[in-house]
Amino acid sequence: MEHRRMLKAVIAGILNLVCYKLFFASASTTESDVTALKSVLTAWQTSRLNWTGNDPCGLHWQGVKCDGATNTHITQLSLGEVGIQGRLLRSIGGLMNLVSLDLSFNQMLTGPLPTELGNLTKLQMLNLQSCGFTGSIPAEFGNLAQLEFLALNDNHLDGNIPSSLGKLRSVSWFDLSQNLLSGNIPVSTNNQQNLGLDNLTAAVHLHLSRNFLSGLLPKELCYMPNVIHLLLDGNNLSGPIPSDVTNFQAMEILRLDSNQFEGEIPTGINNVVSLKELHLSNNSMKGTIPDLSNLQQLELLRLSINLFDSQVFPNWILNLTTLQTIEMDEDNLTGMIPPQLFELSSLEVVSFRSNQLSGVVQLDNVAKSLASIFLQNNNISDVTGLTSASQYQLILGGNPICNDTRNKLLSSVCSAETILESWEPDQLHSCNISCKDDKLLTPACACAFPLILLFQFNAPSFTHITDDRMSNLHNLLQNYLYLTTDQVWIGSANFTDDDRLLANVLIFPSAIESWTQEMVSRILSRLGSNFTLNEFGPYQLNYILLPPLIGSGNKTLYGKSIIAGVILGVLGFIALLGILGIYFWHKRRYMKLKSSSKLSVSWGSVKGDAPQLKGACCFSYDELSTATNDFSPSNQIGDGGYGKVYKGVLPSGQVMAIKRAKSGSFQGGAEFKTELELLSRLHHKNLVALIGFCYEQGEQMLVYEYMPNGTLYDHLRGKGEGLSWQTRIEIAVGAAKGIAYLHEMADPPVIHRDIKSSNILLDKNFMAKVSDFGISKLALVGDGANANGPFSTQVKGTLGYLDPEYYCTERITQKSDVYSFGVVLMELITARPPIENGKSLVRDIMYAWEMNDVDTLQGFIDPTLQNYDHKDLEYILRLAFSLLKDSGAARPSMSEVLKFLETILARIV
């Protein structure tokens, strides 16, 4: 009996302990936290957060973490890229115990940043990068005394940087880049509170790139003891670089390029011996380039496009034994290049374009690492040591040596083109499988949906992309994300024209996993902390393409009958899909055979096989003649340099737009075939669709979908229905999507070269579609050039829309389209042509803006435009000005433009 009583006591004690633990383990979330979080949710829309019940901590809501002691207080919100649409409400300030708040990569999370975020005094991490926030940065953010990580980059924040942010004395990562911030950089000596960014004594990364910051570079920043990366490129900073730069104690990367700095380079930079990268290109620096031979860790030196005095080649460069890249284009250099330069053991890329260098380039002994030498437009008379087996590329176009017929140089050596570096991997090893349902082949020879990420590395230490570097990137990501080798694949990489490296990275699930929102969030949360990847430097994510996700949030238990019903329903649906699939497969096969037969008959004298067209048909001359009533003038709807455009109707009732080339626009059959094959691969809802073509009886005709609402030009000139403010922004968004597709998703990429309001067509619902991106020769990159980099070409385009940099240099990039689109934005606001009575619309508006002439600016706005928000109009103007900068490198990409416009549209709708 005694033993039984003791046993009962022990069991009771165990049960009480279990009950005690269960009680505290399942304790309800504090009511104030639940109230605050549910209030925040009222302004959000997302299908990927499956939150149910009233106990976030007890029910383990996705992305919500609570304190470990009592499990009652919400301490972390990790909701990166969960498809949130809406605004961030003031009630977020009620989550007083938050230590980490991550809402990054939710591009449709818009509106102003609530000042109540400043109440979250326990915050150590605030990650709001790559959202759609607008308005100014609240001064109350300065109250976050424990903050260590602040990322507000890649939003649409404007106004001045609050000096109160100087109170963030614990912050290590401080990133406000890629916004619309203006005014001076605040420092402690410029206000009564003695606050400014120079007070950020713990800061290691200070990133302010790609804004509209102006004024001087404050000397106070030079005394920040821990900063290793100071990124200020792509602003409007001016004046001299302060001599105090000699006081940088730990600086490794200094990006001051693409500003308006003037005066001489301070000699004190030679004392910043920790420097690995120095970027001073695209400024107005003068005088003589100082001796920088003390910079024994320097790997990259960019001094191009300044106003330096004429000077002989600086021999101190030969002492920089760790140098990998040197760029000194358009720097007024004279004399010979010493042969010892090419012997530097780490050197990979040399660029001295458009100087006055002369004599002989001696390449008899060069480093094994040497990859590219760009010496176009100098006075070089000879070269030695170059053979067909040389491992480097040498470009000498525009030098006397290329005009000397006695030299037997390869045509590529005398090219004038400099194509930016790009890289693609070797093909996957042979796998005897093919993937269906849009899945991709993994490195392990399986089929899966990848998570696709576009990394933008803002200051890599190299400009030559090698297999070894990409393998290193693969290994760094694999280890940091705790993945296996076969889960990471580097799809491609290329440099932009403002010296950033873009890398396409595919991440696959493991063999036993399928993608869930939790898995994606874990990866993005790790990447959102913006660690640096050795030689790749600081980065951000520019693009995220999610795989199909299964099971987000809480698991739900179903009864057996429900499961059986679901299975039967799914099987029935699959059977139906199978029947429909067989029908459409036979139908498509029949149409394909019919089309192929027609192509082989109609292709005439063109040698080789018929063009491999995707979704485009071949029409006979008689069919199109009948459809247009023998090309009757009454059916003519357009007339351009390429030829006339007619409205046509097929016997089936389908309406088409038929572009008929005039004889002077004809191409050879092979060229016509090549362009047709490319055009047939361009499919996007914001591009006018190519239906087919005609190539017979001496005709070259293209058949496009018919756009019943004509051109944007017509509507802005009063020939059609007046456009509301919302419709204008929707048109801008649609056109931007089409151009962004051409630049970034088309294969190969396409530069349009004639973006204008008359080439933006409107369908019956006023959805914008970009036209004339092909056969007119205005669209195609051609000649093997890379659309991501500059290449030389005959200038074509329309006066008023033409990029001045392209016009002056005959070197075109995607940023030429960006400039033209900026002019279209001005048209949308003013309804005026870009050139009117000999005056430039862009120049006049910019002048009025700079003079702060409100009355004149108001006079430019289309008087028919009603019910618009003045702040939104100001945002569009600011955006247009950033697109119309003289330097293409300073302009945003079309994907960045699109993101901004979508944010404005979300505010309106």
Angle made by CA atoms 478, 482, 484, in degrees to the nearest 5: 60
Helix, strand, or coil (residue 657)? strand
Residue-by-residue DSSP string for 607-618: -SSPP--SS-EE
Specify whether 567 is located in the same domain as 524: no
For residue 903, the model assigns a pLDDT of: 81
Give me 33's structure tokens.
Answer: 């936290």
Specify whether 640 is located in the same domain as 496: no
Q: Confirm if 40 and 88 have CB atoms less than 8 A apart.
A: yes
Compute how many other C-beta atoms are within 10 angstroms of the C-beta atom of residue 524.
23
Q: Residue 701 is part of a domain; what is its CATH number?
A: 3.30.200.20
Residue-by-residue DSSP string for 361-395: EE-SS--TT--EEE--SSEEEEEES--TT-SSEEE
Specify whether 512 is located in the same domain as 487: yes
Domain membership of residue 454 (yes or no) is yes
CA distances from 224 to 7, 162, 207, 594 (A): 68, 18, 14, 72
Specify whether 736 is located in the same domain as 824: yes
Q: Residue 509 is part of a domain; what is its CATH number?
A: 3.30.70
Specify whether 835 is located in the same domain as 728: yes
User: In sequence order, what are the residues at sequence separation of 6 or more whose Cβ sits closer than 8 angstroms to the Cβ of residue 747?
Assistant: 681
Domain that holds residue 771: 712-908
Give me 881's structure tokens.
Answer: 């000005």
Domain membership of residue 39 (yes or no) is no
Chain position carrying tokens 């294969």 = 747
Tell me, what DSSP letter sits at residue 242?
P
Specify whether 567 is located in the same domain as 541: no
Question: Could you tell me the mean pLDDT of each successive run of 10 residues in the chain, 909 residues long?
Answer: 49 44 55 91 84 84 86 91 90 95 90 95 94 93 96 91 96 93 93 93 95 93 95 93 94 94 95 96 94 96 95 95 95 95 95 94 93 93 85 89 72 70 70 78 86 87 89 90 89 82 88 80 79 80 78 36 35 39 37 37 44 69 89 84 83 84 63 66 83 80 87 82 88 93 80 88 90 49 42 62 79 87 94 85 84 79 86 87 85 88 81
User: In sequence order, what are the residues at sequence separation of 6 or more whose Cβ sits closer than 8 angstroms to the Cβ of residue 783?
Assistant: 791, 793
**Domain's final residue, options 654, 674, 705:** 705
Give me 619's structure tokens.
Answer: 């029409």
Specify whether 741 is located in the same domain as 872: yes
Closest CA to 828 of 719, 729, 688: 729
Domain membership of residue 778 (yes or no) is yes
Type of residue at 441: L
CA distances from 244 to 218, 223, 265, 388 (A): 9, 8, 12, 49
Domain membership of residue 840 (yes or no) is yes
Domain membership of residue 443 (yes or no) is yes
Chain position carrying tokens 């933008």 = 456
Buried b (16+ CB within 10 A) or exposed e, 685-707: ebbbebbbbbbbeeebbbbbbbb
Q: Confirm if 376 and 397 have CB atoms less than 8 A apart.
A: yes
Give me 844's structure tokens.
Answer: 């006049």
Phi-psi region of 296 (alpha: psi -120 to 50; beta: other; left: phi over 0): alpha
Rounded to 5 degrees, what are φ and ψ at 56?
-55, -40
Nearest-angstrom CA–CA distance, 129 and 528 = 8
Specify whether 622 is catalytic: no
Chain position carrying tokens 């990039």 = 813
Give me 308's structure tokens.
Answer: 């330096």
Tell me, what DSSP letter sits at residue 318?
G
Closest CA to 624 of 602, 644, 605, 646: 646
Closest CA to 627 of 638, 615, 619: 619
For residue 20, the model assigns a pLDDT of: 38
Give me 532's structure tokens.
Answer: 């640096």
Specify whether 694 is located in the same domain as 792: no
Give me 503's structure tokens.
Answer: 């890398």
Specify whether 516 is located in the same domain as 649: no
Containing H/E element for 841?
helix 841-850
For residue 796, the model assigns a pLDDT of: 64
Give me 663's structure tokens.
Answer: 């004889």
CA distances from 288 to 319, 355, 601 (A): 18, 15, 69
Compute how many other C-beta atoms are within 10 angstroms of the C-beta atom of residue 31.
10
Nearest-angstrom CA–CA distance, 879 and 865 = 19
For residue 870, the model assigns a pLDDT of: 83
Q: Residue 882 is part of a domain; what is its CATH number?
A: 1.10.510.10
Q: Confirm if 95 and 120 have CB atoms less than 8 A apart.
A: yes
For residue 196, the model assigns a pLDDT of: 96
Q: Which of 175, 233, 499, 754 is catalytic?
A: 754
**Domain's final residue, options 705, 723, 754:** 705
Give me 32's structure tokens.
Answer: 């104030």
Give me 736's structure tokens.
Answer: 């931007």
Domain membership of residue 68 (yes or no) is no
Specify whether 680 is located in the same domain as 776: no
Asked if the bond preceding 450 is cis, omega within 30° of 0, the reply is no
Specify whether 728 is located in the same domain as 700: no
Please state the domain count of the chain.
4
For residue 556, the model assigns a pLDDT of: 31
**Domain's final residue, options 676, 705, 734:** 705
Euclidean distance between the first and final Cα of the chain, in Å?
78
For residue 150, the model assigns a pLDDT of: 96
Nearest-angstrom CA–CA distance, 883 and 244 = 34
Domain membership of residue 513 (yes or no) is yes
Domain membership of residue 886 (yes or no) is yes
Compute how many other C-beta atoms are within 10 angstroms of the C-beta atom of residue 864.
11
For residue 563, the model assigns a pLDDT of: 32
Specify whether 781 is located in the same domain as 897: yes
